[in-house]
A and B are shown apart, each in its own frame.
Chain A
Amino acid sequence: MSLLEVQNFHVYYGSIEAVKGINFEINEGEIVSLIGCNGAGKSSTLRGLSGVVKTSGSARLNGHELLSLATHERVQNGLVHCPEGRGLFPLMSVRENLEIGTFFRKNKSGIKSDLELCFSLFPRVKERLDQLAGTLSGGEQQMVAICRALLGQPKILFLDEPSLGLAPIVVAQIFSVIKILNERGATILLVEQNARQALKISHRAYVLETGEILFKGTGKELLENNEIQKSYLGI
């Protein structure tokens, strides 16, 4: 059984259907990417699974139906979403931003060891703890956002456009951390415009177009697929 099984999944914004009945699954320990153009429904899929937009269909995490749960209950069940644009609280310190991701957890020592992990992945975050989040550079903000998501103890981690608007050197660092996390056992659903980088580190990927899945395959297969090279990789 897959960790996350999504079936006949729709996402609606009012009367507009952004995702039109897609099916996909993610197994434990995988990095799976959703790639596609603007408006293909990638972020909408994540937002729908997180519970911040209207959906229909079915999504089961470890066999438990998610779609009937409130947003915060999905997080407590292990679905943690690191949103596009990072979603930090600019007028709160980095420390407070990180704390907020742990409010529902009872286990103090667990939080502490997860925090240590975050600091070892991103030493920069530790240096910035008492600064207001709004004063950080884009790359640092992304690091804080990823740490905050990790502190939510994800069974599955959603990363929405983690490389958006960042310098190439920071992008490389973020992608290498994603790989490290995965090697440590994390299951990741990645949404990226930067399709080439995403496919390189993904076990499997789905290509979305106007709310439907067009192709699926392993990262390598899709990288070598002619049509995908033309449409999404700019070769």
Chain B
Amino acid sequence: MQDITQHLINGLSLGSIYALIALGYTMVYGVLQLINFAHSDIYMMGAFASYYVSRWFHLEDNPGIASLSLALIASMTACALLGVAIERLAYRPLRGAPKLNILITAIGVSLFLEFSGQLIFGADPKVFPSLIEDVPLIDTEFVVLKSLEVTVFVITLLALGILHYLVYKTKFGKSMRAISHNMTTASILGINVNKVIVITFMVGSALAGVGSVLVGLKYPKIEPLMGVMIGLKAFVAAVLGGIGNMTGAVIGALLMGLSEEFVVAYLSSTLRDALAFGLLIGILIWKPSGLFGKNSIEKV
């Protein structure tokens, strides 16, 4: 019983971080029908931005909410700016080009960021500063709840709550949903499509920025290729939920986090990554539209 509760908490905590990253994939896919493969590297850049800001201000010396907030702001700002720059320089010139061209460009941007990262930051891993003290809040025989876990979970919920508000209550969110249904119709209703796409990239990238700080706190080792695996898993989570569907992405990510945790706990930790990709193969065979996605027929 103790084990199960603990694994449940760990799984949800991991899953909620996947959700932050998966949402970026799914939002961009929603408006552009493009898998932004550079998203995982935007995430990596966020981790480095907050790493350098933390070092610069010696945030490690006084851990707490203030330091964490500063690191989060640094990471989110860097990610949002990078997301906008990528959209502007790489994707917008290809608007209307065949999808394959854009896909290849996305992979190119991803490789560019990964290896620029190695060039600039060095390929060796760095230790992410611990910005918040990790003390047990609840320590019973059933479950141990540490302040780090709680912080990660609270910040994730906060980010998801703000996102929900943005998407369902604001002009931006409504415009974004309209565009993801039909870009042409949205434009003839006076919506500035390019502006909404830019904001979508900003918001999606900023979420990845939040995710990068949280992962840095949990697993404090960062390096320029750190985005690859977690990015792929978040992508699988988005596909599992039905790419383009935001609720689906969150649920897919939670399922993903939970199943990883349980596989590691009860089977073998070597199966952790096999699970993610096994899941992807399974979805693509049996339910390519994902759990909540709509079936669409592609005309060739």
Q: Within 8 Å of chain B (Cβ to Cβ): is A72? A: yes
Across-interface contacts of A103 in B (CB, < 8 A): 171, 174-175, 189-191
In the complex, chain B residues 135-177 whose Cβ is within 8 Å of any chain A Cβ: 171, 174-175, 177
User: Beta-carbon contacts of B171-193 to A below 8 Å, as 1s and 0s?
Assistant: 10011011001101111111111
Q: A72-B190, A103-B171 are in contact. Are A83 and B178 (CB under 8 A)?
A: no
Q: What is the CA–CA distance of A83 and B185 in the complex, to the nearest angstrom? A: 8
Across-interface contacts of A96 in B (CB, < 8 A): 174
Contact of A75 among B171, B174, B181, B188 (CB under 8 A): B188
Contact at B189–A100, with CB atoms within 8 Å? yes
Least CB separation from B194: chain A residue: A70
Across-interface contacts of A39 in B (CB, < 8 A): none
Contact at B190–A87, with CB atoms within 8 Å? no
Q: Most B CB atoms within 10 A — which of A72, A87, A92, A99? A: A72
Least CB separation from B177: chain A residue: A92
- Give, as a whole number of angstroms, the nearest-CB distance from B61 to chain A: 47
In the complex, chain B residues 175-230 whose Cβ is within 8 Å of any chain A Cβ: 175, 177-178, 181-182, 184-193
Q: Within 8 Å of chain B (Cβ to Cβ): is A101? A: yes
Contact of A87 among B175, B182, B192, B193 (CB under 8 A): B182
Contact at A89–B191, with CB atoms within 8 Å? no
In the complex, chain A residues 88-133 whose Cβ is within 8 Å of any chain B Cβ: 89-92, 96, 99-101, 103-104
Q: A87-B182, A103-B171 are in contact. Are A75 and B177 (CB under 8 A)?
A: no
Number of interface residues of A (CB under 8 A): 24
Contact at A90–B181, with CB atoms within 8 Å? yes
Q: What is the CA–CA distance of A51 and B191 in the complex, to the nearest angstrom? A: 13
Summarize A's interface: helix, strand, loop or mixed: loop
Contact of B181 among A70, A89, A101 (CB under 8 A): A89
Q: Within 8 Å of chain B (Cβ to Cβ): is A76? A: yes
Across-interface contacts of B184 in A (CB, < 8 A): 52
Contact of A152 among B171, B187, B189, B193 (CB under 8 A): B189
Contact at A72–B178, with CB atoms within 8 Å? no
Summarize B's interface: helix, strand, loop or mixed: helix
In the complex, chain A residues 54-92 whose Cβ is within 8 Å of any chain B Cβ: 70-72, 75-76, 80-81, 83, 87, 89-92
Contact at B191–A72, with CB atoms within 8 Å? yes
Q: A83-B185, A87-B185 are in contact. Are A75 and B178 (CB under 8 A)?
A: no
- Give, as a whole number of angstroms, the nearest-CB distance from A133 to chain B: 10
- Give, as a whole number of angstroms, the nearest-CB distance from A55 to chain B: 14
Q: What is the CA–CA distance of A103 and B190 in the complex, to the nearest angstrom? A: 7
Q: What is the CA–CA distance of A46 and B178 in the complex, to the nearest angstrom? A: 21
Q: Within 8 Å of chain B (Cβ to Cβ): is A50? A: yes
Q: Within 8 Å of chain B (Cβ to Cβ): is A42? A: no
Q: A81-B188, A89-B181, A91-B181 are in contact. Are A100 and B193 (CB under 8 A)?
A: no
Contact of A72 among B177, B181, B182, B193 (CB under 8 A): B193
Contact at B191–A100, with CB atoms within 8 Å? yes
Least CB separation from B195: chain A residue: A72
Q: Within 8 Å of chain B (Cβ to Cβ): is A155? A: no
Contact at A101–B190, with CB atoms within 8 Å? yes
Q: Within 8 Å of chain B (Cβ to Cβ): is A148? A: yes
Least CB separation from B181: chain A residue: A89
Across-interface contacts of A76 in B (CB, < 8 A): 190
Contact of A52 among B171, B177, B188, B190 (CB under 8 A): B188
Least CB separation from B186: chain A residue: A100
Contact of B182 among A51, A70, A89, A99 (CB under 8 A): A89
Least CB separation from A91: chain B residue: B181
Across-interface contacts of A75 in B (CB, < 8 A): 188-190
Q: What is the CA–CA distance of A176 and B174 in the complex, to the nearest angstrom? A: 32
Q: What are 30 A-B pairs at a CB distance below 8 A?
A: A50-B188, A51-B187, A51-B188, A52-B184, A71-B187, A71-B193, A72-B190, A75-B189, A76-B190, A80-B190, A83-B185, A83-B188, A87-B185, A87-B188, A89-B182, A89-B185, A91-B177, A91-B181, A92-B174, A92-B177, A92-B181, A96-B174, A99-B174, A100-B175, A100-B191, A103-B171, A103-B189, A104-B190, A104-B191, A152-B190
Chain B positions near chain A (C-beta within 8 angstroms): 171, 174-175, 177-178, 181-182, 184-193
3 nearest A-B residue pairs (beta carbon)? A75-B190, A87-B185, A71-B187
Please give 12 more A-B residue pairs, beta carbons under 8 A apart, in addition to A51-B188, A101-B189, A103-B174. A50-B188, A72-B190, A72-B193, A75-B190, A80-B188, A81-B188, A83-B185, A89-B181, A92-B174, A100-B175, A104-B190, A104-B192
